């Protein structure tokens, strides 16, 4: 198809099926094309960056992938099977988990309660029918889940409101992983964080992708995208203008694709 | 690998820092003792009033205080659920009055036509509970379907329901009730120390305390008040849950209506008027946050006890009764101020 895609396949050996495939997705609002014919794939163990200037179509694409918007045309495939979402719950059901910038955590609830919110475990028997919580099971499962994602927090009974920004991010990501997601979408995970916390989130992303869960990282933090991602998809005016591999390019050239100056200079990356 | 281990250690260290670092000792202390400080205030009040007026330590004073507290405690239990969701139910006192009148009117009419005591009592009690829950349902539906603020909606139903209560019996009270209703108000256990209405209120506090802290319903109630968006994203049907919470508040107002009717052996159209203010005060004194996400039934029980004790204590100490409301108002503001100090530390 194009050079970027081919080298992408080379990185994940064999003809492994992409976990997430976006095929010819377009989104139109009347005569305005928010997205035009978007194509890209994400494979196991990959961290893929999605970058672009404001208005390039990033949030539209994220909203389509997370089920909040319908594409006008095109297809989304998860593990090779076409999927269609009516709501964010549908996207989650097929394993696309989005961690939003606001994290969607309840600060007054403990870590374990946040991890299990919406799919609480109840005890068996008559008390269970009344919704009696199995707190012990949820707490010990929370410890396991957070361990698996290498997130270490003093106690799963701590209130989320007491955690630092990086730790909250870790809890939100830990929840997404625990909910059995197949692809993790991180929407500006470091926007509100200090430098040190940003580095921790970077480590967290590596750990998650090390577990075989591919990550789509949507971020304005280009140095971090450059450092963490195996591939970077650049959106420009609603199109995928380039797919770059940080190993084969430099930060400046990613910037030049985002601003569109690379295109004007007649370079090709697709 | 080394880097990952470093990362783990960093996170653990940050957790410890967050819990102690940079927080003044006083605030840390307050945070640790949690809602227990209200219990301390209660003990101080009991000792202080008892010193001024030793008659506080008599059975009569206990019964007066406990019976006074019943209606406020039952209302405050429902109000706790509502406030934990970051809502408010200003209509619960009016709901008490309406459901008591509606149930009593039915009982009085049934007594007049065919005198089958048992059926009359059952029908009357069921009607009280049903009208209470029905008004709660109405509140919940208007709040969630029309997306209006609970304060405004329940202010409206407070006014409308108060008027409707007078319409029921032309603003006059109903006294010809079945004997069982009077018995319910006067019966007691443990050689007269525990009147049945007090027992009912305490049992309700226990049951709803467990519902709030130990069940899925309770957890979701906290979640909605803490971060409604998070609750929606977690797949919780927030609207349906809120309707149920307002129904609980209305249902308990119906129970309180029954207890008040039993206590006075009559239903008055002004029963429950302004009760919502005491109920809200009790919840707030008990440590609940008016912004949602925090509050316990245990705290509400203590808060109600403080209000009841202030009322009887000031009477026994021969203080002009007008001071009661001044004192309760001061305690409400004081409780919120203390709560502010207690939680100001980077928790929200």
* pLDDT digits 0-9 by tens, B288-299: 988 899 999 999
The arithmetic mean of pLDDT across residues B241-247, rounded, is 98
- The DSSP symbol for A121 reads -
- DSSP, collapsed to helix, strand or coil, labels residue A22 as strand
Average per-residue pLDDT in chain B? Answer: 86
* pLDDT reading at B285 higher than 70: yes
Residues of chain A found within 8 Å of residue B230, distances taken between Cβ atoms: 103-106, 114, 117
pLDDT at site B146? 94
More confident residue, A155 or B279: B279
pLDDT at site A217? 92
* Backbone angle region of A110, left / alpha / beta, with phi > 0 → left and psi within -120 to 50 → alpha: beta
CB-CB under 8 Å, A117 with B11: no
Q: Which of A37-51, A141-155, B5-19 has the lowest mean pLDDT?
A: B5-19
Query: If pLDDT is split at 50, 70 and 90, which confidence band does B8 have?
Result: very low
Contact predicate A149/A207, CB 8 Å? yes
* pLDDT reading at B35 higher than 70: no
Pick from A106, A120, A153: CB nearest B11: A153
- What are the structural domains, with CATH classification, of chain B? 34-343 (1.10.3470)
pLDDT at site A8? 40
pLDDT at site A11? 45
pLDDT at site B204? 97
pLDDT at site B26? 66
Q: Pinpoint the alpha helices (H) of chain B.
A: 2-20, 25-33, 36-52, 59-84, 92-113, 117-145, 150-168, 179-186, 196-214, 216-226, 228-233, 238-264, 275-285, 297-316, 322-343
Share of chain B above pLDDT 70, in %: 86
**Residue located via tokens 């409400």:** B332
- The DSSP symbol for A69 reads S
Pick from A89, A100, A167: CB nearest B11: A167
> What phi, psi does A81 have (nearest 5°)?
-100, 130
Q: Is A159 on the interface with B (CB under 8 A)?
A: yes
The arithmetic mean of pLDDT across residues B248-273, rounded, is 94
Search chain B and give the residue with CA nearest A99.
B233
Pick from A103, A109, A203: CB nearest B4: A203
Question: If you write DSSP's letter for every residue of B231-272 in order, what string do you get?
Answer: HHHTT--HHHHHHHHHHHHHHHHHHHHHHHHHHHTSB-TTTT
Kindly report the number of other CB atoms within 10 A of residue B118's CB atom: 9
Distance CA B85, CA B249 (A): 12
> What phi, psi does B319 have (nearest 5°)?
-85, 140
Pick from B15, B226, B235: CB nearest A108: B226
Burial class (CB in 10 A: 0-12, 13-18, 19+), B153: buried
* pLDDT digits 0-9 by tens, B101-158: 999 999 988 886 666 678 889 999 999 999 999 999 999 999 999 999 999 999 999 9
The arithmetic mean of pLDDT across residues A54-70, rounded, is 87
Contact predicate B255/B200, CB 8 Å? yes
* pLDDT digits 0-9 by tens, B41-96: 899 999 999 998 888 899 999 999 999 999 999 999 999 999 999 999 999 999 99
Distance CA A186, CA A213 (A): 12
pLDDT at site B347? 43
Share of chain B above pLDDT 90, in %: 57
Distance CA B217, CA B211 (A): 7
The arithmetic mean of pLDDT across residues B296-319, rounded, is 91
The arithmetic mean of pLDDT across residues B291-315, rounded, is 92
Q: Is A207 on the interface with B (CB under 8 A)?
A: yes
Closest by CA to B182, choosing from B168, B201, B195, B166, is B195
pLDDT at site B82? 98
Q: At what angle do helices B25-33 and B36-52 cross, to 10 degrees?
A: 80
- Residue from B27, B222, B223 to probe the interface with A (highest A Cβ count within 10 Å): B223
* pLDDT reading at B219 higher than 90: yes
* pLDDT reading at A265 higher than 80: no
The C-alpha angle with vertex B205 and arms to B203 and B206, in degrees rounded to 5, equals 65
Q: Which of B42-56, B213-227, B330-344 has the lowest mean pLDDT?
A: B330-344
| Options 3.40.50.2000, 3.40.50.10800, 3.40.50.300, 2.170.130.10; CATH of A1-95+216-270 | 3.40.50.300
The arithmetic mean of pLDDT across residues B237-253, rounded, is 97
Query: If pLDDT is split at 50, 70 and 90, which confidence band does A256 have?
Result: confident
Distance CA B264, CA B245 (A): 29
* Chain A with chain B: Cβ pairs closer than 8 A: 114
Count of helix runs (H) and strand runs (E) in chain A: 11, 10
pLDDT at site B324? 83
**B64-94 b/e with 16+ CB inside 10 Å = b?**
bbbbbbbbbbbbbbbbbbbbbbbbbbbbbbb
The arithmetic mean of pLDDT across residues A200-213, rounded, is 85
Distance CA B90, CA B79 (A): 9
Q: Is B18 on the interface with A (CB under 8 A)?
A: yes
The separation between CA B157 and the C-alpha centre of its own chain, rounded to angstroms, equals 18
Q: Is B215 on the interface with A (CB under 8 A)?
A: yes
Q: How far is CA B201 from CA B12, B66, B78, B98, B330, in A?
A: 45, 10, 12, 20, 26
């Amino acid at each position: 198809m194009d050079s970027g895609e081919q080298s992408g396949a080379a990185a994940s050996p064999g003809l492994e099926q992409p976990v997430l495939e976006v095929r010819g997705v377009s989104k139109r609002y009347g005569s305005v094309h928010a997205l035009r014919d978007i194509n890209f794939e994400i494979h196991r163990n990959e961290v893929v960056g999605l970058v672009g200037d404001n208005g390039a179509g990033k949030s539209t694409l994220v909203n389509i992938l997370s089920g909040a918007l319908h594409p006008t045309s095109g297809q989304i495939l998860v593990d090779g099977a076409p999927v269609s979402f009516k709501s964010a719950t549908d996207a989650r059901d097929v394993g696309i988990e989005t961690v939003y910038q606001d994290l969607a955590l309840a600060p007054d609830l403990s870590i374990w309660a946040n991890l299990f919110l919406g799919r609480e475990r109840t005890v068996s028997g008559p008390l269970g029918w009344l919704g009696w919580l199995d707190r012990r099971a949820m707490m010990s499962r929370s410890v396991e889940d957070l361990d698996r994602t290498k997130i270490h927090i003093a106690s799963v009974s701590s209130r989320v409101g007491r955690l630092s920004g990086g730790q909250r991010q870790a809890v939100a990501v830990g929840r997404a992983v625990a909910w059995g997601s197949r692809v993790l979408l991180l929407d500006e995970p470091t926007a509100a964080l200090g430098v040190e916390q940003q580095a921790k989130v970077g480590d967290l992303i590596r750990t998650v992708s090390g577990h075989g869960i591919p990550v789509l990282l949507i971020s304005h933090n280009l140095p971090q995208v450059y450092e963490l991602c195996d591939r970077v998809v650049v959106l420009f005016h609603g199109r995928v203008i380039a797919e770059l591999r940080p190993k084969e390019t430099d930060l400046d050239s990613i910037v030049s694709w985002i601003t569109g100056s690379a295109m004007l200079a007649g370079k090709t990356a697709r | 690998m080394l880097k990952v281990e470093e990362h783990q250690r960093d996170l653990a260290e940050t957790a410890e820092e967050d819990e102690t670092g940079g927080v003044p000792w006083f605030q840390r202390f307050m945070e640790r003792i949690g809602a227990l400080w209200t219990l301390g205030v209660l003990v101080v009040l009991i000792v202080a009033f008892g010193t001024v007026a030793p008659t506080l330590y008599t059975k009569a004073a206990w019964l007066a205080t406990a019976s006074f507290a019943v209606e406020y405690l039952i209302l405050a239990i429902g109000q706790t659920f509502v406030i934990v969701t970051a809502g408010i139910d200003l209509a619960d006192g009016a709901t008490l009055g309406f459901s008591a009148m509606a149930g009593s009117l039915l009982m009085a009419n049934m007594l007049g036509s065919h005198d089958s005591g048992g059926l009359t009592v059952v029908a009357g009690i069921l009607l009280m509970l049903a009208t209470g829950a029905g008004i709660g349902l109405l509140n919940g539906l208007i709040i969630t379907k029309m997306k209006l603020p609970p304060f405004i909606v329940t202010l409206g139903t407070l006014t409308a329901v108060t008027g409707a209560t007078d319409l029921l019996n032309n603003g006059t009270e109903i006294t010809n009730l079945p004997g069982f209703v009077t018995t319910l108000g006067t019966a007691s256990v443990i050689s007269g120390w525990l009147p049945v209405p007090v027992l009912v209120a305490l049992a309700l506090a226990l049951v709803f305390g467990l519902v709030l802290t130990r069940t899925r319903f309770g957890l979701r109630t906290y979640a909605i008040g803490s971060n409604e968006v998070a609750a929606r994203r977690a797949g919780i049907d927030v609207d349906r849950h809120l309707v149920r919470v307002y129904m609980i508040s209305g249902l308990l107002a119906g129970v309180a209506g029954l207890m008040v009717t039993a206590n006075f052996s009559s239903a008055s159209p002004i029963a429950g008027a302004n009760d919502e203010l005491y109920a809200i005060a009790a919840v707030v004194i008990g440590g609940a946050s008016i912004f949602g996400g925090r509050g316990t039934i245990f705290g509400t029980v203590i808060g109600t006890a403080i209000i009841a004790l202030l009322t009887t204590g000031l009477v026994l100490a021969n203080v002009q009764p007008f001071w009661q409301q001044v004192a309760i108002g001061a305690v409400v503001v004081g409780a919120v101020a203390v709560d502010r100090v207690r939680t100001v530390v980077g928790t929200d």
